[in-house]
Amino acid sequence: MSRDLLDKSYSPKAVEKRWYAYWEQEKLFAADDNTTKKTYSIVIPPPNVTGVLHMGHALNNTMQDIMCRYRRLKGDSVLWMPGTDHAGIATQNVVEKKLAAEGTDRHQLGREKFIEAVWEWRKEYGNAIINQLKRLGASCDWERERFTMDEGLSRAVRKVFVQLYDEGLIYQGNYIINWCCRCHTALSDLEVEHEDLDGHFYHIRYPYADGSGSVVVATTRPETMLGDTAVAVHPEDERYADLTAEAVILPLMNREIPIVRDAYVDLSTGTGALKVTPAHDPNDFDIGARHDLPSVKVIADDGSMTDAAGRFKGMDRFACRKAVVEALEAEGLLERVEPHRHSVGHCYRCKTVVEPNLSRQWFVKAKPLAGKAIEAVETGKTRIIPESWTKTYYEWMFNIRDWCISRQIWWGHQIPAWTCQSCRKMIVAMDAPDVCPDCGSTDLIQETDVLDTWFSSALWPFSTMGWPEQTQLLKAYYPTSVLVTGFDILFFWVARMMMMGIHFMKEIPFHDVYVHALVRDEEGKKMSKSKGNVIDPLNVIDQYGTDAFRFTLAAFAAQGRDVKMSEKRVEGYRHFINKLWNAARFSLMHIDKSYDSIDEKNISLQDRWILSRLNRVARQTEEALDAYKFNEAAGAVYQFVWHELCDWYLEAIKPTLYDKAGGEEKAATLSVLWHVFKEALILLHPFAPFVTEEIWHSLPGTDGSIMQAVWPDHIQPGNDPAAEAQMETAITVITGIRNVRGEMSISPSTALSVVVHPEDSETDAVVESNRDLIVNLARLSAITVDAAMERPKAAATVLVNGATVYVLLEGIIDFTQEQARLEKEIGKLSKELSGINKKLGNEDFLKKAPPDVVDGVREKHAALLEKQHALAATLERVKDMMD
């Protein structure tokens, strides 16, 4: 399978297609039901079946894929459960639009035909998002793909409904709910989006029934006054203490309605009098219940005014608002109108203004379920990460309200409740009953409402694994390891999965909940179609490749901070992927075979150093991934590959590799290069799955997919602090010489010669035994290491820890430049020294700071001082020569 890597730059397209097909074909994403290994599982947040991949999905699924690929490399048996959500209202809306384009609508079709049409639609378009996830590299176990409306999940839904009903946790009743007049359905509180809008505050005068005067009430929705059934004042409101009238005449309707006293009324607002419309306001509904007031519904489900609205009957609610205001004005009862900014609820699907409306609906009693969901987080059984979200979670859970679960649409799980037409008995059952158990009638009619989409997604972690059957999969993979999600569905989904999982499985649904941030545009604005700032992930993938895109997402995904996405940034990471590609090209020019072990006897300093660094970075990457710090993990690998492996190691070994004679040293270096490169690919794989797989197959001695490789775990020889320190010394010397070259504008093609005066035996040994390394990387023609040798005259001086390096510049040196360079250096030192002097001059610091900190500062002070003196002396000499 090995192929030659020839192209100078990496072209992702063909590579991605080829390897994704290979992974699927080799079933490398498949989870083993009967595994004996440690298991790791994630259920995907099911994208809407109507969805197209957006940045949110891209971030969310990249993170999950990184975790899954990482855990596989670590040796776990991994299940990443995929699927889609039927998305009741959203999907129904899409299909309705399609029907409208075809000149028909769902009512003409009828319920059954309409649902068929939705299934047809799903068959044709429902796989779009799945294919897009594949382009992202998602390693889901696709053969297990589930759909919230499939047979198994529907059965789970019915089972849950019946049990909750039997337990008294589901009930039906008349309450004020949020009503969307366009979608013709109830909405849960969460499905209402609030937006501050400029409106008006209408003050209306209601005359007392006994003719003794009038009272002014205020409202932002004057059309609702047609349904008023009382006026309320606070029982202790002195303004109304002496009020004799017991009723008012409702203007426009000429209906007499009572004045009630209720403590809900706020004494400090307006006139202290409140109009009460039990059918169209949740608070008024409560007041109505307390005072036994009738409810008059004046706004119909389609948003038009009902018969009860008198002469306004049939008008649209907003036209009616205008008409009511005009009528009141004509009668002189409109006291005044003030501009008023207030929050208005909108349907989260179609953005229509939501109407609080009295309606008979099904509800889940949430409080009894919330208790254990709170406890699970309090006791740490489920961790929410970052922790700051736990507070938000508690806040909502403690104040949870009953959940309206019925929807008046057609696409969804029809509520498994039947009413006997002869005795009115309600039968709630998993399967359609034939006869009424009470009266034996066969005339049974099923509830037409369907369930809230989130009802079925609340069961997702266990319903997808086969519940209510006690499957092997559930045994092996439930509870799941982590749920990765955006905070926008913390309540919609996560909280409800917690409640349902604990209630039905007697066990939390996930150990960790990782809450990630939003992807925004480069200015930090939320991406939206209307703003036109949407970046299409597929477009980015086409242009820069999946790996570069994934790396960008990971690198910018710092916890608790939104990801600002711009193509420019992706471009930067494309450079990185290309850098890796070229490092591979270079390495593979020399690597001719695989190496079982490393020849420890013949390895050089740079070999020991890179192996030590590799081990350290592997640990660092693990720690970061285990803590969901994707940016740190990506950063660690990036830094290692580019700035250590490529910039130093590959450059350092070039002379050895190009050595035609070969020998033991070359073989030893090749053994190190082979190991380090292989392990680096594995470290990179979770982030950049495609390019690493491609290179893997060209690397001699690899077998099968990189997905089946083993995460580097303490490679031998590994941690070598001495090698790291020695390399550090060499790097400092080399950088110092390069610095002289740069500052004095000496061309890289000019080979320089240096004299090194070591100040201690360790430095002496390091420089002496790594002469070749320094000569090579600093581009020298010669290096002399001798502390006793006379100080050269025409030279630039570089001070490093443990040595003075003289760069010989006979005929090249510009003393003015050298003077400037030294002065700059001394200036830097003085600045640093002044801070340290201040510290050491502080009695309290010496007395109270921990001794090791004080010692550290003293040592640093001494070193800086010495360096400063040496530089000052050098500067003096330079000045002398200029004279």
Residue 490: CB minimum distance to RNA, A? 8
**Binding residues for RNA restricted to 370-409, rule: CB under 7 A:** 388, 391-392, 395-396
Residue 451: CB minimum distance to RNA, A? 20
Minimal CA–CA distance to 362: which of 290, 459, 451?
Answer: 451
Q: Say whether 184 sits in a helix, a strand or coil.
A: coil
Q: Which residues contact 248 (CB under 8 A, 6 or more apart)?
A: 206, 207, 208, 209, 214, 215, 231, 256, 257, 259
Residue 396: CB minimum distance to RNA, A? 7
Residue type, 21: A
Residue 845: CB minimum distance to RNA, A? 4
| Residues belonging to the chain | 883
**Binding residues for RNA restricted to 482-521, rule: CB under 7 A:** 488, 491
Q: Report if residue 530 touches RNA, rule: CB under 7 A.
A: no
Residue 585: CB minimum distance to RNA, A? 4
**Binding residues for RNA restricted to 464-483, rule: CB under 7 A:** none
Q: Report if residue 535 touches RNA, rule: CB under 7 A.
A: no
Q: How far apart are CA 324 and CA 223, in angstroms?
A: 6
Q: How far apart are CA 186 and CA 301, in angstroms?
A: 10
**Binding residues for RNA restricted to 236-265, rule: CB under 7 A:** 264-265
Q: What string marks each residue from 424 to 463 as x (binds RNA by CB under 7 A) or -?
A: ----------------------------------------
**Binding residues for RNA restricted to 336-365, rule: CB under 7 A:** 342-343
Q: Report if residue 531 touches RNA, rule: CB under 7 A.
A: no
Task: Kindly tell me which residue out of 36, 470, 747, 834 binds RNA, with binding defined by CB under 7 A.
Answer: 747
Q: Which DSSP string corresponds to 96-145?
A: HHHHHHTT--HHHH-HHHHHHHHHHHHHHHTTHHHHHHHHTT----GGG-
C-beta of 661 vs 788, nearer to RNA: 661
Task: Kindly tell me which residue out of 2, 269, 781, 801 binds RNA, with binding defined by CB under 7 A.
Answer: 269
Q: Report if residue 849 touches RNA, rule: CB under 7 A.
A: yes
**Binding residues for RNA restricted to 561-590, rule: CB under 7 A:** 561-562, 564, 568, 572, 574-575, 577-579, 582-583, 585-586, 589
Q: Report if residue 845 touches RNA, rule: CB under 7 A.
A: yes
C-beta of 210 vs 387, nearer to RNA: 387
**Binding residues for RNA restricted to 775-834, rule: CB under 7 A:** 824, 832
Task: Kindly tell me which residue out of 10, 147, 630, 696 binds RNA, with binding defined by CB under 7 A.
Answer: 10
**Binding residues for RNA restricted to 12-41, rule: CB under 7 A:** none
**Binding residues for RNA restricted to 662-721, rule: CB under 7 A:** none
Residue 850: CB minimum distance to RNA, A? 5
C-beta of 84 vs 457, nearer to RNA: 457
171 sits in the region (left: phi over 0; alpha: psi -120 to 50; else beta) called beta
C-beta of 472 vs 739, nearer to RNA: 739
Q: For residue 47, report the phi and psi dihedrals to the nearest 5 degrees.
A: -65, 150
Residue type, 203: H
Q: Say whether 328 sits in a helix, a strand or coil.
A: helix
Task: Kindly tell me which residue out of 52, 558, 833, 864 binds RNA, with binding defined by CB under 7 A.
Answer: 558
Q: For residue 796, report the phi and psi dihedrals to the nearest 5 degrees.
A: -95, 145
Residue 272: CB minimum distance to RNA, A? 6
Q: Which stretch binds RNA (CB under 7 A): 253-261, 471-479, 531-539, 741-749?
A: 741-749
C-beta of 631 vs 705, nearer to RNA: 631
- How many residues bind RNA, per CB under 7 A? 91
CA 796 to chain centre: 53
**Binding residues for RNA restricted to 142-201, rule: CB under 7 A:** 189-190, 194, 196
**Binding residues for RNA restricted to 605-664, rule: CB under 7 A:** 631-632, 635, 642-643, 646-647, 650-651, 654, 658
Residue 462: CB minimum distance to RNA, A? 26
For residue 19, CA distances in Å to 67, 81, 135, 754 come to 19, 21, 11, 51
Task: Kindly tell me which residue out of 152, 207, 258, 282 binds RNA, with binding defined by CB under 7 A.
Answer: 282
Can you point out the beta strands (E) in 447-498? 450-451, 480-486
Residue 839: CB minimum distance to RNA, A? 7
> Quick one: which H or E segment has residue 178?
strand 170-180
C-beta of 25 vs 749, nearer to RNA: 749
Residue burial 183-219, b: 16+ Cβ < 10 Å; e: rest: bebbbbebbbeeeeeebbbbbbbbbbbeeeebbebbb
Instruction: Classify residue 489 as exposed, middle or buried by CB count within 10 Å of its CB (0-12, 13-18, 19+).
Output: middle
Q: Which residues contact 98 (CB under 8 A, 6 or more apart)?
A: 121
CB 351 within 8 A of CB 89: no
CB 49 within 8 A of CB 126: yes
